Amino acid sequence: MRKITLEEQKQLMLDMLVNYTEFCDAHGLKYFLTGGTMLGAVRHQGFIPWDDDIDVGMPRHDYEEFLRIYPAERTNPDYDFMTYHDEPDLYVSSGKFYHNKTILKEAADSDLQIGVYLDVFPLDNVGDSLDDAKKLFEDTMAIRRKIDVQNWKIIKERAWYKNAVIAAVKAVSPKGVRPKLIRELDETCMRFAGAQMTAYVGFVCAAHNGLKEILKREWFDEYIKVPFEQYEFMIPACYHEILTGFYNGDYMQLPPEEKRKSHHVYDAVWID
């Protein structure tokens, strides 16, 4: 199998993003760049130079509609969409829009084979009160900590003492419970599910900064198109408020040079 270079991966992901967003536009589904991809669009007008993935978000109602219609109406046979409903060994509760002629070898404890992908995160209702929102985030973070243990894998790129801790924790952790935990996480995320957005929303299935990522509904009322590489894609008009919550302080300031590196560890190959 021929290895896919980082630049090839980026071009593949960009082509997939164009196809995904065109499908969403054709079916009236809301989407937007999120996470590091939104930051890249605002700060770099494209990929963060040392980043190697693409994150998109969809309000939960649009996300569920995408799950329903995409399999029958996909416009490129090389692209598929996967959730834990389709593949019980998927290690996250969010979806992956992937290239089925590739394999991505990730640092996750899973035998699942999936190609180069875009992460598609549902933006969930988390309640009309701040107390409800905090409770939902705390409940989902407790489940995600258990999933993290299931997903940990010993890899050579990690310091030996960290691998030793991972090995010790996994040795005393229950085996084979990840599918149940993933279902529990997804069901918990949808505690306030509905077509109308609540006062507070969030990416509770994947929040990295805990309660700091509780977001206000009105920040997602309007969208604007911004440059990303040679294309334009949607982001919320209130991107400043969202990015401030995600990244703290001045998100336009570049991090120290020693921190300008990818947080992913994987290889990608073409399927012969």
Instruction: Please check the confidence at residue 217 and state whether its pLDDT lies above 90.
Output: yes
Please tell me whether the overall predicted TM-score, pTM, comes out greater than 0.85 for this model. yes
CA distance 117 to 266: 12
Q: Is residue 115 within 8 Å of residue 125, measured between CB atoms? A: no
Tell me, what's the pLDDT at 248? 74
Q: Of all residues in the chain, what percent carry a pLDDT higher than 90?
A: 72
Instruction: Please check the confidence at residue 110 and state whether its pLDDT lies above 90.
Output: no
Tell me, what's the pLDDT at 142? 94
Joined together, the tokens standing for residue 104 give: 């991505």
How, if at all, do strands 231-236 and 223-228 pair?
antiparallel
CA distance 84 to 76: 22
pLDDT of 97-107, one tens digit each? Answer: 999 999 998 87
CA distance 260 to 135: 34
Q: How many residues appear in the chain?
A: 272
Going by pLDDT thresholds of 50, 70 and 90, the confidence category of residue 85 is very high
SS3 of the chain: helix, strand, coil, percent, to 5: 40, 20, 40
Tell me, what's the pLDDT at 125? 98
For residue 146, give the nearest of 106, 180, 101, 96 by alpha carbon: 180
pLDDT of 160-213, one tens digit each? Answer: 778 788 788 888 888 889 999 999 999 999 999 998 999 999 999 998 778 889
DSSP 220: G
Tell me, what's the pLDDT at 264? 65
Average pLDDT on 219-231 reads 97
For residue 125, give the nearest of 209, 205, 197, 210 by alpha carbon: 197
Strand partners, 223: 236
Instruction: Please check the confidence at residue 21 and state whether its pLDDT lies above 90.
Output: yes
Joined together, the tokens standing for residue 214 give: 């509780």
For residue 15, give the nearest of 96, 106, 117 by alpha carbon: 117
Tell me, what's the pLDDT at 108? 78
How, if at all, do strands 55-59 and 215-216 pair?
unpaired
CA distance 252 to 9: 25
CA distance 92 to 88: 10
CA distance 165 to 196: 44
Q: Is residue 45 within 8 Å of residue 227, measured between CB atoms? A: yes
Tell me, what's the pLDDT at 25? 97
CA distance 139 to 131: 12
Instruction: Please check the confidence at residue 52 and state whether its pLDDT lies above 90.
Output: no
Going by pLDDT thresholds of 50, 70 and 90, the confidence category of residue 241 is very high
Tell me, what's the pLDDT at 112? 86
Lowest mean pLDDT among 122-131, 169-178, 230-239: 169-178
Tell me, what's the pLDDT at 212? 85
Q: What is the amino acid identity at position 243? A: L
